[in-house]
Amino acid sequence: MSQNAANNVAQQGDSGPIPAAIAASPPIVDIIRFLSSASTASFGVISRTTLAVIFTLLAPISLLLTPISYLLSPVFVLVQVLLDVFVFAPYAVTAAIARNVYPIYVLVGVAVICALVVGFTARIITSSILHAIFAPRAKPKAAVKELQPERDAPPPPEPREKSAFRTGVPKTRVRKRVSIKEEREA
């Protein structure tokens, strides 16, 4: 063996040579390894013990759960049927319709988008051709006509004074009762 190989390999183990860096590790590394394995083992023991205690405490409840579930089974069946009728079946029908209508929806959507693109493109091309052929002319400003009151218009009516007998509230008309009686021949 060469000198470098002898320095890198400290001892020969069952799984092969162990590097010298691992064989000569500081004591803190060994302490950390021991603490991590001890904490893992203690966590496993504590969790198993806790589960055993919980299952022991829940055993009487599980004995009561079976008769209660038998007594409430009609309610469970009714709820399941109602959910099937009012939630799951309408959802399945709606999903099936949506799956079958989706291609038509996409076709109409693409057609509308293409029509918009063609329409706007035609509008832009048409307006550019019109501006190229017929140059825009400057429009003369229209004179603003001043508004003058008409001289021949009659003066506005003067407000009337209210009479003491008349109030501003109009009277409501009372309907007369009319009855039609048939004449009897005697």
pLDDT value at residue 174: 74
Q: Which of 2-11, 37-46, 128-137 has the highest mean pLDDT?
A: 37-46
Between 172 and 84, residue with greater pLDDT: 84
| 11 phi and psi angles, rounded to 5 deg | -150, 165
Indicate the pTM of the whole model: 0.35
Domain ranges of the chain: 9-71
In this prediction, residues 23-47 reach a mean pLDDT of 89
- What local confidence, expressed as pLDDT, does residue 100 receive? 96
Report residue 7's pLDDT band, with 50, 70 and 90 as the boundaries: very low
At 1 the pLDDT is 46
- Among 2-6, 23-27, 142-146, 147-151, the minimum mean pLDDT is found in 2-6
pLDDT grade for 143, boundaries at 50, 70 and 90: low
**Can you say how many angstroms the Cα of residue 168 is from the centroid of all Cα atoms in its chain?**
58
pLDDT (0 to 100) of residue 149: 55
35-44, 88-97, 145-154: the lowest-pLDDT one: 145-154
CA 41 to mean position of chain CA atoms: 47
Q: What is the 3-state secondary structure (H, E, C) of the chain?
A: CCHHHHHHEEEEECCEEEEHHHHCCCHHHHHHHHHHHHHHHHHHHHHHHHHHHHHHHHHHHHHHHHHHHHHCHHHHHHHHHHHHHHHHHHHHHHHHHHHHHHHHHHHHHHHHHHHHHHHHHHHHHHHHHHHHHCCCCCCCCCCCCCCCCCCCCCCCCCCCCCCCCCCCCCCCCCCCCCCCCCCCCC
With tokens 């109409």, the residue in question is 108
